[in-house]
A and B are shown apart, each in its own frame.
Chain A
Amino acid sequence: MTLSKRHLALLALAIIALTVLPTMLKTYGLYLLTLWLVYIIAAFGLNLTVGYAGLKSLCHAGFMGIGAYTVAILMKAGVSFWLATPVAIVLCFAFGLLIGFPALRVQLHYLGFATLGFNLLLMLFFRNEEWLTGGTFGIQNIKRPELFGYSLMGNLPFYYVVLALTVIAGAALAYLLRSPWGRAFAALRDNPIRAESTGVNITAYTLMSFAIGAAYAGLAGALFAPLVNFIEPAPFGIGNSLLFLLMVVVGGSGRFYGPVLGSAIALLLPEYLRFAKDWYLAVFGFAVVVMMIWLPGGLLSIKETWQLHRAKRDVKSARPEAA
């Protein structure tokens, strides 16, 4: 990805806005904004697996759960957040590799079910292993960390840490996608058979797309735990995994900024509209159906879909004259 000047300017503007704006927000607004960033990190990872490498993953919330529980459990055991987070990321990476293996064996659509089943298994683990996870009661009072002696207990300092990590995570992803890896992922997505005969090691790239995607969820989970101070199994269930997939698709899968838009629509708005959440999700679910019919490329593809539509119409209207 090469950045145009306009793109750079807009990006700088967005980051400045995200730096200044929160000073004017109240507690709940700030919480939502932080949550949005956390979801964006997770969705960045899923977009790599789903949008760029073209694999179906339906256990992203589960990966996020692994990250959140790892950090919560380690912090309760007295381990520093800054040590626990890398552990969470590595653990998720390892689980991603593990889940990637069926991907090599099975036909594409089975993969969705395999990952869904894995998420179910994780939920059972979170619920049943009370000695470790606190069962349905979860783990309470997860403290926010300190950084260089400064406490991040306050909402604003913690927000800035999350913002910084989001920018770093996004930049790392952009760097990866810009490298030959990005093209190899796309080759894997567009035509695995051709990719293999042109020297693309599809085993390695499949596993990596899963593992890196999971690692992003691990980071998101690690930030989620101290953000909400309390974790329980519910947010890491199958329902949220489906929402994660939909938010990548709705934003525009395989588009870098797709997850930014998608996570606002699929996870942030329902949280904001808490009292009407279920109605909102009902409308959202049906809207996805309509979107897959009219705009399968996601919201960020509106312009191209419209151009394509017009081009087709022009061809249609031009045809009688040519004949």
Chain B
Amino acid sequence: MTDFFQLLISGIATGSIYAMAALGFTLLWQAAGTINFAQGEFVMLPAFAMLIGIAAGLPLWLAFVVAVAISVLVLGAGFKRLVVDPMRGSGVVAVVVATLGLSIGLKSFVKAGYSAEPHPFPSVFSEEVFKLAGVTISYSDVGALVFAGLMVLGLQMLLNKTITGRAMQAVAQNTFAAEALGINVKRMILYTFGINAILVAVTALLITPTYLAKFDMGDNIGLKAFFAAIIGGFNNSRGALLGGVLVGVLENLAGAYLTPSYKDGVALVLFLAVILVKPDGLLGTPQERKV
């Protein structure tokens, strides 16, 4: 039973990291109708940015700050201006293909320009463990959980309690109405891309110590984020949180009790089960079939 709780806690910790990437993914979809197939690579890039910073002698925290800044500039504003904006009006499919291309481009660029090998990555939190009521808990799990939890809660606060956040939600729900209300739609969309850029950088910081920095680390994290987002509900930002945690916990439990080799398949099975029963996700609201 104590095993179970250990698995549960570390699952929630991993899941909340998935949730962050998933959250950014749903935010982009809601605000700009962008399905970002390169979300996994958006996590991989800040990891390498931090790695380069550390190699240049920066302490981890400073490398992280620099990575966030670069991420906001390149993966936020740059991505929006150079890729998403020029494609406005060409439809979801064109954006999907473009981000697929971007995903391959970024992966290969890192592989060719930096390294094809996995690189160890320092953990923000101590690797040590402590015991609570017989359950062994690692500081890094608790740290990840707290950090990710704070990020998600903070974002919820931002979206629900501040004027800017409400304006962003208004844009996500109905761009035309938001524009009519005098909301600066373009700026709100830019903010959304910025938030996604911060989310992916934090995800990189928390997940890379376990995944290791490798050019294709995004394949896995990206896929988990997509599935988490859809399981929870593509049009609901709380859904991403629920989906992420569900995926994290269930794959941990399945890995321990069923089969470790198919651990990575859990998200897919869960995804299929959910869309068969509730196509709009657990917390999603039905979307009208668009003609």
Contact = CB atoms under 8 A, between A and B. Distances in A.
Q: Are A and B in direct contact (Cβ within 8 Å)?
A: yes
B271 interface: yes
Interface stretch (B150-158, B174-182, B186-194, B260-268): B260-268
For the residues of B in contact with A, the DSSP-based class is: helix
Nearest to B275: A106
A43 B98 CA distance: 19
A118 B108 contact: no
Given A124-B265, A128-B261, A239-B216, A288 B86 contact: no
Nearest to A125: B262
A128 B255 CA distance: 14
B101 A121 contact: no
Q: How large is the interface on B (under 10, 10 to 19, 20 to 34, 35 or more residues)?
A: 35 or more
Contacts of B48: none
A296 B95 CA distance: 10
A104 to B, nearest CB: 11
Contacts of B102: 285-286, 288-289
A144 B86 CA distance: 50
Interface string B63-98: 000000000000000000001001100101111111
A292 B264 contact: no
Contact of B104 (A106, A124, A193, A246): A246
B96 A289 contact: no
Contacts of A243: 104
B112 A285 contact: no
A107 B93 CA distance: 12
B276 interface: yes
Contacts of B12: none
Interface string B163-178: 0000000000000000
A118 B106 CA distance: 23
Contacts of A291: 101
A287 interface: yes
A285 B107 CA distance: 9
Residue among A56, A117, A239 with max Cβ neighbours from chain B (10 Å): A117
B111 A110 contact: no
B92 to A, nearest CB: 6
A242 B103 contact: yes
Contacts of B227: 113, 117
A246 B101 contact: yes
B2 interface: no
Contact of A292 (B94, B107, B112, B291): B94
Contact of B271 (A109, A117, A245): A117
Given A282-B105, A289-B102, A106 B264 contact: no
A293 interface: yes
Contacts of A116: 223, 226
Contacts of A304: none
B92 A246 contact: no
A120 B275 contact: no
B35 interface: yes
Interface in B235-291: 261-262, 264-265, 267-268, 271-272, 275-276, 279, 287, 289, 291
Contacts of B271: 113-114, 117
B103 A285 contact: yes
27 contacts: A56-B93, A109-B92, A109-B96, A110-B230, A110-B275, A114-B275, A117-B271, A117-B272, A120-B268, A121-B268, A124-B261, A127-B261, A128-B262, A242-B100, A245-B97, A246-B104, A249-B97, A278-B109, A278-B112, A279-B108, A282-B106, A282-B113, A283-B105, A284-B104, A291-B101, A292-B87, A296-B94
Query: When A and B form their complex, which 8 residue pairs have the shortest distance between CB atoms, in order from nearest?
Result: A285-B105, A288-B101, A278-B112, A117-B268, A281-B108, A285-B104, A128-B261, A292-B98
